[in-house]
Amino acid sequence: MAAIGKTRLDSGWIGTRDREVTVSGTQLTTTHPPSPALPWMEAVVPGTVMATLVKGKDVPDPFYELQNDYIIDITESGRQYYTFWLFTTFQCKLSSTQFLDLNFRAINYYAEVYLNGHKKDLPRGMFRRHSLDVTDIAHPDGRNLLAVCVYPPDNPGTIPPEGGQGGDHEIGKDVVAQYVEGWDWMCPIRDRNTGIWDEVSISVTGPVKIIDPHLVSSFFDNYKRVYLHATTELENRSTWVAECSLNIQVTTELEGNVCLVEHLQTQHLSIPAGSRVKYTFPELFFYKPNLWWPNGMGKQSLYNVDITVDVKGYGESDLWSQLFGFRKIESHIDITTSGRLFKVNGQPIFIRGGNWTVSDGLLRLSKERYRTDIKFHADMNLNMLRCWGGGVAERPEFYHYCDIYGLLVWQEFWITGDVNGRGVPVSNPNGPLDHDLFLLCARDTVKLLRNHPSLALWVGGSKQIPPDDINTALKHDLRLHPYFESLSNESGKIVKDFSAGSDDPSQYLDGTRVYIQGSLWDGFANGKGDFTDGPYEIQNPEDFFKDDFYKYGFNPEVGSVGMPVSATIRATMPPEARQIPLFKKVSNDYEEVPNGMWVHYKYIPYSKPGKVHDQILLYGSPKDLDDFCLKAQLANYIQYKALLEGWTSRMWSKYTGVLIWKTQNPWPGLRGQLYDHFLDQTAGFYGCRSAAEPIHVQLNLATYFIEVVNTTSEELSDVAIEASVWDLEGTCPYYKALEKVSMPPKRTVPIAEMKYPKSKNPRPVYFLLLKLYHMSDYRIISRNFYWLHLSGGDYKLLEPYRKKTVPLKVTSQVSIKGTTYEMHMRIQNKSKKPVPKSLTYQNNFTTKQGDGDFDVASVESTHDGTDKELEVGWFRKISRHFTKENGGLRVAEINGNDTGVAFFLHFSVHGLKTDHKEGEDTRILPVHYSDNYFSLVPGEAMPIKISFEVPPGVTPRVTLDGWNYHGIHTVH
């Protein structure tokens, strides 16, 4: 007898083009099963046809060089060329009272399924689940043969020579992802993402099956009294009345693997033969449960909710499990700013987030990739991701990690202004051809995702609203339950007690989250649907702080540059395409002219002649690719830090939120990203990380006032600010400590004006270090570093500064557990003793809220000096968090005779292999750093935590380089 539950079918698949198969699907799954030999190849499931063809080297990698141009497009080949057969086998032996379902969580666009010679159809629609009852056609001996013929979208469209947003827009006639015809940031996807692009599974049940439970929490008495509401559908698949015990259990994990049972409830019911019923549990009461909070506001507390059904005379028939967070999210249009203001658990949250397209353009999706993607966003201190309407309805694994790391999600349906209703040519003004199909996919997506606490709102489309009938239906289907219509329930007054009747909120399709008809409506941009988002290019950093930069309360899209590091260019392009842009003189300014391959990869310049001087030429003419990419990282850091600091400077007074367009790239593109497709971060990643701290000290680049941002709900008192200016000679011409500062919660407050550079003889280029710290013990709350030039000047003096040799001391220790490495580094600028009046040079950071990972910043640093015992003592404190497999303490002195700032230090991790090839990319990716692209003033030390996975057979090395650090320091 098979075990009750789900089994994923994610390995052992082979595939080939339909035209290569000469037998029928019935024969494939009976008398003529294929062998894993040509024309059959190992298939990527879940994945797309193109992902399989690339893996099997049937087509070149479309994300390397110009190879995508040499892959035949579906427009030219015809749809049959990308019609694909996929085949696998699975074992499952049922008892006489068991039932078997074959599940496809998503396909694109429709398919024929053959199991053991029997045919079943999967109808059209990219965003719908399919569950096939195959009980009667499963083999009694347990061995089953499965073949699937999957067909492309009906309207794949044509790619016009000039490209553009969504090609010729024909793809919008189907209910599919619309980016696949290409965009200004993405190449066309030649198969239009045809394939089994999400999970395939089999599930075994007894006579009664659990279908789509819905969990909702309601709060009273200022969040002290909480109720869990649960409704589920139950299907009796047998020919007799099923007497059932329906159980719901809520547990929370304590330390280790110990779980505490919060609730266990059993209900008895009878279900008629062959019928489906909806059942609502009596509400479960919790007193002061641990709440789920977004990133930066508190912990992401999660409870495990298990629902099981036992059938009399049979036993356990089905089970369902979900991580669930108790939280209330609400929003309204703020009177002061006219922007949409979000609250979580009654607390306003200033939104600083990003726009999400798709993890990978070929839909090679994985839990591991999602975990890195989402943790990267949490590491940047962001708190929201917008799943853009031209992409996909994101998968449960994506939402799982948003739950874990505290990223709120704005999920759009599949309407974009570029494809549905405007553009050149104007196409599909009435949306997809099949409105009923669109609504079916939307409703099924809601059921798939609605139990995730990270899901914050539904939006009809990007820069467009759905057609009237679809929009009206979505407004009705996603209407709020009366309890959630209230803007606030903080008074403690009970609005209404819920019962297991029609008023129970878990009986709604959702009922807990607002539905907004489009991304430019109802509190976003100008709120009226006009194209008032953006801009999308490089800006003068100080402009983000000015009154006239952006006049609406919540900007859903503001974009900029995103050049990756030079190693990514080398991994993407051949040597002849690595020429840096030409700088063409235009009037009194310069414009960048990139080579053709950079244009193919959607490069966006670092200049806007006449408005923004080239931000790379500020540092002098780049010499080669490495120099260009390094200077681009300097510009990236400044650009994105200024963007978020400028918005946060006007928190609540002018703005309620901002979303960066965009934070990541589904291919090796050269624009709008904070980490690249290989998962290597740009310096902009760390500019965002600094700017989006929950408590942050910053410089207003327009007014030169020092400001403190407190986005938390706690008042900040008995703190001080330290401001020090450092010149290129390593001296400190300006130092100021502002003591006994208090900061109210949820406010940005200007503290004092910087007197430098208004003082006499200011340096043309200088560094500014701001620190916010507790006066009681000098623990650092926020550290912020700037490099600045006088008005009208540039950074060209930093070029000769590269010749400085600043001595560093690097102390390191490694912890190894399996293939996971965790390194703790301490880097100190030894060029000078600390300024005696500076008490915070040690950078003993206060403990920060995180995801449970050990934060090296919480460890107390040692005093300055060469006392080895003090160094060892510091690492002994760290080692309490290590596994038993520990590397030794290593101390390296990097000699230098100069005094000054160790500028723009950058760690990277590489692998050493015995069969290393010349020019091979040696990076180990992804890597999580507690900080990177950092600078140290004389005497200052910084603790850095580095964690990564190492592939088998590879020896890792951590390297350190910098602007004025010669050579690469390696820590094996």
Are residues 101 and 179 both part of a single domain? yes
DSSP for 847-864?
P---SSS--GGGSPPPPS
Beta bridge partners, 87, equal 14, 147
Are residues 132 and 197 both part of a single domain? yes
Are residues 262 and 179 both part of a single domain? no
Answer whether residue 852 shows pLDDT above 90: no
State the Cα–Cα distance between residues 321 and 307, nearest whole angstrom: 6
β-pairing verdict for 695-699 and 705-710 = antiparallel
Element (H, E) at 76: helix 74-77
Query: Which tokens go with 103?
Result: 């599940």
State the Cα–Cα distance between residues 359 and 667, nearest whole angstrom: 9
User: What mean pLDDT do residues 482-508 have?
Assistant: 63
pLDDT in tens, 34-66: 988 999 999 999 999 999 999 999 999 999 999
Residues making up the chain, counted from first to last: 972
* Residue 96 zone, left/alpha/beta (φ > 0; ψ -120 to 50; rest): alpha
Alpha-carbon 711 to chain mean position: 21
Answer whether residue 631 shows pLDDT above 70: yes
520 located within any domain: yes
* More reliable by pLDDT, 860 or 748: 748
pLDDT in tens, 860-892: 233 333 333 433 333 333 333 333 344 578 888
CB 607 within 8 A of CB 590: yes
Q: Quote the pTM value.
A: 0.94
Domain count, the chain: 5
CB 763 within 8 A of CB 733: yes
Phi/psi for 461 (5° steps) reads -175, 170
Residue 802: name the closest of 684, 589, 626 by CA.
626
CB 451 within 8 A of CB 214: yes
Could you give the angle at the alpha carbon of 471 between the alpha carbons of 470 and 477, nearest 5°? 85
Are residues 188 and 237 both part of a single domain? no
pLDDT in tens, 146-182: 999 999 999 999 998 888 889 999 999 999 999 999 9
Are residues 237 and 306 both part of a single domain? yes
Task: Give 42's contacts (C-beta < 8 A, 6+ positions apart).
Answer: 13, 14, 36, 52, 55, 56
State the Cα–Cα distance between residues 627 and 570, nearest whole angstrom: 14
Other C-beta atoms closer than 10 Å to the C-beta of 278 total 12
Answer whether residue 486 shows pLDDT above 80: no
List the CATH number of the domain containing 307: 2.60.40.10
Answer whether residue 690 shows pLDDT above 80: yes
pLDDT in tens, 289-302: 999 999 999 999 99
User: What mean pLDDT do residues 389-418 have?
Assistant: 97
The residue among 273, 304, 324 that closes a domain is: 324
pLDDT given for residue 259 in this prediction: 74
- Please state whether the peptide bond connecting residue 926 to the residue before it is cis, i.e. omega within 30 degrees of 0: yes
State the Cα–Cα distance between residues 644 and 7, nearest whole angstrom: 44
The residue among 203, 234, 251 that closes a domain is: 203
- In this structure, the dihedral spanned by the alpha carbons of residues 302, 406, 398 and 954, taken in order and rounded to 10 degrees, is -100
* Strands (DSSP E) found in 435-548: 455-459, 515-516
In angstroms, the first-to-last Cα distance of the chain is 52
> What is the chain's mean pLDDT, rounded?
91
Q: At what angle do helices 367-379 and 683-691 cross, to 10 degrees?
A: 50
pLDDT in tens, 912-950: 876 667 778 999 999 999 999 999 999 999 999 999 999
User: What mean pLDDT do residues 246-251 have?
Assistant: 96
873 located within any domain: no
Residue 665: name the closest of 194, 179, 181, 193 by CA.
179
Are residues 197 and 100 both part of a single domain? yes
Are residues 52 and 102 both part of a single domain? yes
State the Cα–Cα distance between residues 669 and 603, nearest whole angstrom: 7
pLDDT given for residue 161 in this prediction: 85
Are residues 136 and 228 both part of a single domain? no
Phi/psi for 648 (5° steps) reads -70, -25
Task: Give 406's contacts (C-beta < 8 A, 6+ positions apart).
Answer: 292, 293, 294, 295, 296, 297, 300, 378, 383, 454, 851
614 located within any domain: no
Other C-beta atoms closer than 10 Å to the C-beta of 815 total 20
581 located within any domain: no
List the CATH number of the domain containing 529: 3.20.20.80
Are residues 787 and 829 both part of a single domain? no
pLDDT given for residue 41 in this prediction: 97
User: What mean pLDDT do residues 637-653 have?
Assistant: 98
Answer whether residue 193 shows pLDDT above 70: yes
State the Cα–Cα distance between residues 685 and 673, nearest whole angstrom: 9
pLDDT tier at 527, thresholds 50, 70, 90? very high
Element (H, E) at 204: strand 200-205
pLDDT tier at 217, thresholds 50, 70, 90? very high
Answer whether residue 97 shows pLDDT above 70: yes
User: What mean pLDDT do residues 681-695 have?
Assistant: 98
pLDDT given for residue 428 in this prediction: 82
State the Cα–Cα distance between residues 535 and 550, nearest whole angstrom: 9
pLDDT in tens, 313-350: 999 999 999 999 999 999 999 999 999 999 999 999 99
852 located within any domain: no
Other C-beta atoms closer than 10 Å to the C-beta of 937 total 24
* Residue 102 zone, left/alpha/beta (φ > 0; ψ -120 to 50; rest): beta
State the residue for tokens 């929490």. Answer: 217
Are residues 140 and 222 both part of a single domain? no
Are residues 248 and 319 both part of a single domain? yes
The residue among 203, 223, 247 that closes a domain is: 203
Alpha-carbon 704 to chain mean position: 33
C-alpha pair distances (Å), 494 with each of 488, 491, 497, 498? 12, 9, 7, 10
pLDDT tier at 895, thresholds 50, 70, 90? confident
In the chain, the percentage of residues whose pLDDT exceeds 90 is 83
pLDDT given for residue 873 in this prediction: 37
Residue 594: name the closest of 580, 607, 584 by CA.
580
CB 649 within 8 A of CB 701: no
Other C-beta atoms closer than 10 Å to the C-beta of 546 total 14
State the residue for tokens 């990716």. Answer: 925
Residue 676: name the closest of 597, 568, 595 by CA.
568
How many helices (H) and strands (E) would you count in the chain? 14, 46
Residue 906: name the closest of 664, 542, 567 by CA.
567
Beta bridge partners, 277, equal 234
Are residues 161 and 213 both part of a single domain? no
User: What mean pLDDT do residues 656-660 have?
Assistant: 98
494 located within any domain: no
pLDDT in tens, 575-596: 999 999 999 998 888 999 999 9
Alpha-carbon 557 to chain mean position: 16
By residue range, what is the domain housing residue 784? 695-799
